[in-house]
């Protein structure tokens, strides 16, 4: 699969089907950009109406090209796309970028054409990028391909960028001379009819010229495969994602609390964090972090020092660092002694180190060197607001010359002229940041990446214990009992009875007990008044059953029978649940339970491909988890039992693909610290 993508970035020859002599047309601008950027391979423009375009030979038909074509870029009008693809296939072209739009994104008709074209290409052993995309770039000197219609000359670097939106890709390329992002590869994947982020992740992982992978996505083509790439340790380069389309709507028609709380955007955030990917909030964060990975060593720890000539921006930087959970480094006494000789007496030798507006280029260099050499420091944020008396360029270049194996991220707030001067004259061209709050996010992303354990053991699916058909129903109590037994889930014992049997069974369980009215029409029992707790004797039992019957009657609900179970006094109520995300597959939830779960929403979700660490994280990231682990010296609950239940529930979700949602709610924690699942609902597709 990797090999099949190579020609998209490393073609020796390209054919531009639909090259044009008409200025401002895509077919013209694309070819112009290719020529302008200096592509090193052979170029075969195709246009039935001309022999020459932009000074190079143009072919009337694809068949007229006798040489081998590594890559075809198709920009012909929609009407001619299928014909063009057929000809490319007949010429044995394996890599096709279809830029033309008007397919799946326009409706059913377009979708069916797109599907047909894609099948043809795949059947012929080829790969398709697009349709509805804006091309590819490889900046390496050996290739020098800018096959997009943004006529910029991107600088070479080691960042790969995939954009699901062509326009967003264009916006990023438009601003390159302001943002100074250095791409290795750029690709716009459009409708992702064939090549998707999953292919490119694998490709870039294997391409040594790429150090950092950045993605703009509006949807995941196959979320479960995406995360498995990470779960299986196949991807270990830094991956940054800007995911747009953050609808907060929960699962369509969710019937469980778990489903209702598992909105698609929460799922995306959860899996991204779980597998060590970085989710960024906007383009600035995305590329700032990519620059961080590209140009700086990874920080070893979270202790940061701020160096500045400006109080206000330093405070803003510190706020941002603290918000991200980073710490201000405590400088060593020896460092402070040396700083005292450099820093103005009215400045500060404590962190943030303040050189005052008079701080010179030499002082900035010495101070950065000193703090970077301090063992208590893991990274430096150096802030410079350009004053009248000290030119920014000198300061920045001096700091660039500091030798350190720690990241030194510079924030510069200069007069506008500085940026061009730096672009042209800098010897180092180290990325700079424009706002004091920016480095915090970069550092935290780098640190998170550094701390991922890529060899961690995770749960794996095994054989399902029940043979289930996808038939949209709830599991019966006996099926649930089977699952509970197999997965060692502490389901409370319970009996389903009709009215007349109530008296007998209570002897077996003993008092106090809980009585529940059963009805296939009732989803949340306590809301329907179907639950009576702490029933202490037979009279109370009969009374409660009559009361429940009455309530059902009043609500027009059919009473299918009763369920009794032992009454356990709850010290806490928790929820453990699972659901199947349409893209990412089996998910697991843990949190505060009871009837108000959705109001409190004190829950954590993760992909069911759990590691031990994931389970610990789920517990510690919720308030109820903190309470169970012992707040203010309270006695600790048996947390390892809790972990086993979460793990078993995840295993169950992994094993039984037919289960769409399940709620164990409440799971009661008794005052002895034991766990009892007192209500379990499991739904099949």
Structure tokens that stand for 434 in this block: 């424009």
Q: Which of 167, 334, 337, 558 binds a copy of itself (CB under 8 A)?
A: 167
Token look-up 């491909």 returns 609
500 belongs to the binding site for a copy of itself (CB under 8 A):
no
CB 313 within 8 A of CB 383: yes
- The span of 135-143, 194-202, 319-327, 461-469 binding a copy of itself (CB under 8 A) equals 319-327
**N- to C-terminal Cα separation, the chain:** 33
- The span of 159-167, 268-276, 292-300, 557-565 binding a copy of itself (CB under 8 A) equals 159-167
- The span of 293-301, 310-318, 424-432, 472-480 binding a copy of itself (CB under 8 A) equals 310-318
Which helix H or strand E contains 660, and what residues bound it?
A: strand 659-670
Cβ neighbours, 10 Å, residue 253: 7
The residue (of 261 and 484) whose beta carbon lies closer to a copy of itself is: 261
282 belongs to the binding site for a copy of itself (CB under 8 A):
yes
309 belongs to the binding site for a copy of itself (CB under 8 A):
yes
Residues 6+ apart with CB under 8 A from 616: 643
**Rule CB under 8 A: which of 60-99 touch a copy of itself?**
none
- The span of 364-372, 444-452, 622-630, 639-647 binding a copy of itself (CB under 8 A) equals 622-630
Q: Which of 244, 546, 558, 641 binds a copy of itself (CB under 8 A)?
A: 244
Shortest CB 139 distance to a copy of itself, Å: 18
Burial of 216 (0-12, 13-18, 19+ CB in 10 A): buried
Shortest CB 105 distance to a copy of itself, Å: 8
Note if the bond before 666 is cis, omega within 30 degrees.
yes
**Rule CB under 8 A: which of 417-436 touch a copy of itself?**
435
157 belongs to the binding site for a copy of itself (CB under 8 A):
no
The residue (of 175 and 401) whose beta carbon lies closer to a copy of itself is: 175
Q: Which of 12, 82, 102, 180 binds a copy of itself (CB under 8 A)?
A: 102
- The span of 101-109, 530-538, 583-591, 647-655 binding a copy of itself (CB under 8 A) equals 101-109
- The span of 145-153, 272-280, 473-481, 648-656 binding a copy of itself (CB under 8 A) equals 145-153
β-strands 680-684, 675-677 pairing: unpaired
**Rule CB under 8 A: which of 586-605 touch a copy of itself?**
596, 599-602
User: Per-residue x/- marks for a copy of itself, 632-671, CB under 8 A?
Assistant: xxx-------------------------------------
**Rule CB under 8 A: which of 449-488 touch a copy of itself?**
none
165 belongs to the binding site for a copy of itself (CB under 8 A):
yes
User: Per-residue x/- marks for a copy of itself, 374-393, CB under 8 A?
Assistant: -----------xxxxx----
283 belongs to the binding site for a copy of itself (CB under 8 A):
yes
Q: What is the DSSP string of 337-371?
A: HHHHHHS-TTSBSSSSEE--TT--HHHHHHHHHHH
At how many degrees (to 10) do helices 392-400 and 361-373 cross? 30
673 belongs to the binding site for a copy of itself (CB under 8 A):
no
The residue (of 208 and 345) whose beta carbon lies closer to a copy of itself is: 345
- The span of 116-124, 147-155, 470-478, 604-612 binding a copy of itself (CB under 8 A) equals 147-155
Q: How many residues does the chain have?
A: 685
Half-sphere exposure of 83 (CA within 13 A, CB side): 10
399 belongs to the binding site for a copy of itself (CB under 8 A):
no
Q: Which of 54, 356, 523, 542 binds a copy of itself (CB under 8 A)?
A: 356
Residues touching a copy of itself, count (CB under 8 A): 74
178 belongs to the binding site for a copy of itself (CB under 8 A):
yes
The residue (of 150 and 195) whose beta carbon lies closer to a copy of itself is: 150
Q: What is the DSSP string of 508-571?
A: HH-SSEEEEEE-TT-SSTGGGT-EEEEE-SHHHHHHHHHHHHHHHHHHT----EEEEEE---EE
Q: Which of 218, 485, 521, 672 binds a copy of itself (CB under 8 A)?
A: 218
The residue (of 150 and 270) whose beta carbon lies closer to a copy of itself is: 150
Burial of 61 (0-12, 13-18, 19+ CB in 10 A): exposed
| Interior/surface letters 628-667, b for 16+ CB within 10 angstroms, e for the rest | beeeeeeeebebeebbbbbbbbbbbbbbbebbbbbbbbbb
Q: How far apart are CA 320 and CA 575, in angstroms?
A: 34
Q: How far apart are CA 580 and CA 656, in angstroms?
A: 10
**Rule CB under 8 A: which of 508-547 touch a copy of itself?**
524, 527
Shortest CB 578 distance to a copy of itself, Å: 23
CB 367 within 8 A of CB 384: no
Q: Which of 34, 99, 227, 310 binds a copy of itself (CB under 8 A)?
A: 310
Q: How far apart are CA 629 and CA 619, in angstroms?
A: 8
Cα torsion 257, 263, 268, 273: sign: negative
């Amino acid at each position: 699969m990797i090999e099949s993508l190579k020609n998209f970035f490393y073609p020796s020859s390209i054919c531009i089907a639909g090259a044009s002599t008409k200025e401002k047309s895509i077919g013209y601008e694309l070819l112009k950009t290719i020529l302008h950027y200096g592509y090193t391979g052979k170029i075969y423009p195709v246009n039935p109406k001309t022999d020459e375009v932009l000074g190079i030979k143009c072919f009337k038909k694809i068949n007229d090209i006798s040489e081998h074509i590594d890559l075809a870029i198709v920009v012909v009008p929609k009407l001619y796309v299928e014909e063009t693809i057929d000809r490319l296939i007949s010429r044995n072209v394996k890599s096709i970028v279809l830029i033309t739009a008007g397919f799946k994104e326009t409706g059913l008709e377009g979708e069916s054409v797109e599907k047909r074209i894609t099948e043809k290409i795949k059947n012929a052993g080829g790969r398709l990028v697009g349709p509805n995309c804006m091309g590819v770039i490889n900046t390496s000197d050996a290739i020098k391909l800018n096959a997009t219609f943004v006529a910029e000359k991107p600088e070479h670097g080691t960042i790969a960028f995939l954009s699901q939106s062509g326009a967003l890709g264009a916006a990023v390329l438009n601003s390159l001379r302001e943002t100074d992002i250095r791409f290795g590869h750029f690709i716009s994947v459009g409708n992702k009819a064939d090549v998707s982020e999953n292919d490119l992740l694998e490709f870039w992982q294997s391409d040594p010229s790429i150090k950092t992978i950045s993605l703009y996505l509006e949807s995941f083509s196959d979320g479960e495969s995406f995360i498995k790439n990470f779960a299986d340790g196949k991807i270990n380069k830094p991956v940054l994602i800007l995911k747009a389309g953050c609808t907060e709507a929960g699962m369509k028609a969710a019937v469980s609390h778990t489903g209702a709380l598992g909105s698609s955007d929460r799922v995306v955030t959860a899996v991204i964090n779980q597998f060590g990917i970085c989710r960024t909030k906007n383009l600035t964060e995305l590329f700032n972090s990519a620059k961080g990975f590209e140009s700086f060593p990874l920080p070893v720890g979270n202790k940061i020092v701020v160096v500045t000539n400006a109080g206000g921006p330093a405070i803003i930087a510190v706020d941002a660092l603290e918000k991200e959970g980073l710490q201000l480094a405590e400088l060593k006494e020896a460092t402070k002694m040396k700083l005292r000789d450099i820093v103005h007496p009215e400045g500060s030798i404590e962190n943030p180190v303040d050189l005052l507006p008079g701080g010179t280029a030499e002082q900035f260099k010495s101070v950065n060197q000193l703090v970077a050499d301090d063992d208590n420091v893991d990274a430096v944020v150096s802030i410079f607001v350009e004053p009248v008396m000290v030119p920014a360029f000198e300061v920045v270049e001096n700091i660039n010359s500091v030798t350190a194996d720690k990241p030194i991220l510079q924030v510069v707030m200069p007069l506008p002229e500085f940026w061009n001067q730096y672009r042209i004259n800098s010897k180092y061209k180290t990325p700079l940041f424009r706002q004091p709050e920016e480095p915090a996010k970069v550092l935290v992303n780098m640190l998170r990446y550094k701390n991922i354990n890529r060899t961690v053991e995770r749960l794996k699916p095994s054989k399902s214990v029940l043979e289930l058909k996808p038939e949209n129903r709830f599991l019966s109590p006996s099926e649930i009992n089977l699952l509970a037994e197999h997965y060692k889930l502490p389901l409370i014992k319970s009996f389903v009875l009709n009215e007349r049997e109530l008296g007998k069974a209570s002897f077996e369980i003993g008092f106090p007990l809980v009585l529940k009215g059963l009805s296939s029409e009732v989803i949340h029992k306590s809301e329907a008044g179907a639950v009576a707790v702490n029933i202490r004797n037979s009279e109370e039992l009969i009374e409660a059953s009559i009361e429940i019957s009455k309530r059902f009657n009043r609500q027009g609900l059919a009473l299918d029978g009763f369920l009794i179970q032992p009454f356990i006094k709850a010290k806490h109520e928790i929820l453990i649940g699972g659901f199947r995300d349409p893209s990412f597959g089996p998910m697991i939830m843990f949190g505060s339970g009871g009837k108000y779960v959705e109001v409190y929403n004190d829950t954590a979700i993760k992909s069911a491909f759990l590691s031990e660490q994931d389970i610990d994280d789920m517990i510690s990231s919720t308030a109820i988890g903190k309470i169970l682990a012992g707040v203010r010296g309270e006695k600790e609950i048996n947390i390892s039992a809790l972990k086993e239940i979460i793990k078993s529930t995840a295993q169950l979700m992994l094993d039984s693909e037919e289960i769409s949602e399940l709620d164990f709610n409440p799971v009661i924690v008794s005052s002895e610290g034991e766990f009892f699942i007192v209500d379990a609902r499991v739904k099949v597709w």
